[in-house]
A and B are shown apart, each in its own frame.
Chain A
Amino acid sequence: MSLKGKAYIAGIYEHPTRLATDLSLAMIHAEVAKGALEDAGLTNADVDGYFCAGDAPGLGPMSMVEYMGLKPRHIDSTDIGGSSYVAHVGHAVEAIAAGKCKVALITLAGRPRAEGMATGTVPRSRGGTPTPDEPFEFPYGPTVVNMYAMCAMRHMHQYGTTSEQLAWIKVAASHHAQHNPHALLRDVVTVEDVVGSPMIADPLHRLDCCVITDGGGAIVVVAPEIAKSLKRPKVKVLGAAEALKTQMGGKVDLTYSGAAYTGPPAFAEAGVKPSDVKYVSIYDSFTITVLMQLEDLGFAEKGKGGQLVADGNLISGVGKLPFNTDGGGLCSNHPGNRGGLTKVLEAVRQVRGEAHPKVQVENCDLALAHGTGGSLGSRHGSATVILERE
Chain B
Amino acid sequence: MAAQAQAKERKLPAPAVSPETKDYWDAAAQGRLLVRKCTACGEAHHYPRTICPFCFSDKTEWITASGKGTIYSYSVMRRAPVPYVMAYVTLAEGPSMMTNIVDCDFDRLRIGQEVTVVFKPTDGGAPLPMFTPA
Q: Which residues of A contact B (CB under 8 A)?
A: 121, 125, 130, 132-143, 145-147, 149-154, 157, 198-204, 247-252, 254, 378
Contact B46 A136 (CB under 8 A): yes
Q: In the complex the two chains form, is A150's CB within 8 Å of B15's CB?
A: no
Question: Residues on B close to A: CB < 8 A?
Answer: 12-18, 20-21, 25, 43-47, 49, 52-54, 72-80, 84, 86-88, 90, 94-100, 111-112, 122, 128, 130
Name 20 interchain pairs, CB-CB below 8 A, sorted by A: A135-B47, A138-B15, A139-B15, A141-B86, A143-B77, A146-B86, A149-B86, A150-B74, A154-B72, A199-B78, A201-B75, A204-B75, A249-B49, A249-B95, A250-B45, A250-B47, A250-B97, A252-B88, A252-B96, A254-B88
Collect the chain A residues with CB atoms within 8 Å of residue B52's CB: 249
Give the residues in chain B near A247, CB-CB below 8 Å. 96
Q: State whether A136 touches B15 (Cβ < 8 A).
A: yes
Which of these, B18, B80, B111, B122, contacts A121 with CB under 8 Å? Answer: B80
Q: Which residues of A contact B14 (CB under 8 A)?
A: 139
Are A135 and B15 in contact, CB atoms less than 8 angstroms apart? yes
B16 touches A134 (CB 8 A): yes
Quick check: B53 and A157 within 8 Å, CB to CB?
no
A136 touches B98 (CB 8 A): yes
Contacts of B49 in A (CB 8 A): 132, 249
CB-CB under 8 A from A248, the residues of chain B are 53
Cα of A239 to Cα of B53 in the assembled complex, Å: 31
Contact of B79 among A138, A154, A201, A254 (CB under 8 A): A201
Q: How far is the CA of A199 from the CA of B79 in the complex (A)?
A: 8
Pick the 10 closest A-B CB pairs, nearest first: A250-B95, A149-B75, A135-B15, A249-B45, A249-B53, A250-B46, A252-B96, A136-B47, A154-B73, A150-B73
Residues of chain B within 8 A (CB-CB) of A201 are 75-79, 86
- Does B79 contact A145, Cβ atoms closer than 8 Å? yes
Q: Which of A134, A151, A157, A378 gathers most chain B CB within 10 Å?
A: A157
| Residue ID in chain A nearest B13 by CB atoms | A139
Assess whether B75 is in contact with A150, with CB atoms less than 8 Å apart: yes
A252 to B91, CA, bound (A): 11
Given contacts A121-B79, A150-B87, A202-B78, 19 further A-B pairs with CB under 8 A are A130-B18, A133-B47, A134-B16, A135-B21, A138-B13, A138-B15, A140-B98, A140-B99, A141-B84, A145-B79, A153-B74, A198-B79, A199-B76, A200-B77, A201-B77, A203-B75, A249-B45, A249-B53, A250-B45
Tell which of A121, A146, A251 touches B75, judged by Cβ atoms closer than 8 Å: A146
Complex contact B18–A136 (CB within 8 A): no
Report yes or no: A200 in contact with B95, Cβ–Cβ below 8 A: no
A162 shortest CB reach to chain B, Å: 15
**C-alpha gap A250/B44 in the complex (Å):** 8
- A55 to nearest B CB, angstroms? 25
Smallest beta-carbon distance B25→chain A, Å:
8
Bound complex: CA A248 to CA B94 (Å) = 12
Q: Which residues of the partner chain A approach B54 to less than 8 Å between Cβ atoms?
A: 249
A252 to chain B, nearest CB (A): 4
Measured between beta carbons, the chain A residues less than 8 angstroms from B17 are 135
Give CA–CA (A130, B25) in the complex, Å. 16
Residues of B within 8 A of A121 (CB): 77, 79-80
Choose among B18, B43, B99, B100 the residue that contacts A135 (Cβ–Cβ < 8 A): B18
Assess whether B111 is in contact with A249, with CB atoms less than 8 Å apart. no
Inter-chain contact B78/A252, CB cutoff 8 Å: no
Q: Which residues of A contact B78 (CB under 8 A)?
A: 198-202
Residues of B near A134 (CB, < 8 A) are 16
Instruction: For residue A137, give the distance in angstroms from its CB to the closest CB of chain B.
Output: 5
Whether the Cβ atoms of B79 and A137 lie closer than 8 Å is no
CB distance from B91 to the nearest CB of A (A): 8
Q: Which residues of B contact A125 (CB under 8 A)?
A: 13
A147 in contact with B79 (CB, 8 Å): no
How distant is A129 from chain B, measured CB to nearest CB, in Å? 9
Docked-complex contact B77 and A135, CB < 8 angstroms:
no
- CA–CA, A150 and B89, complex, Å: 12
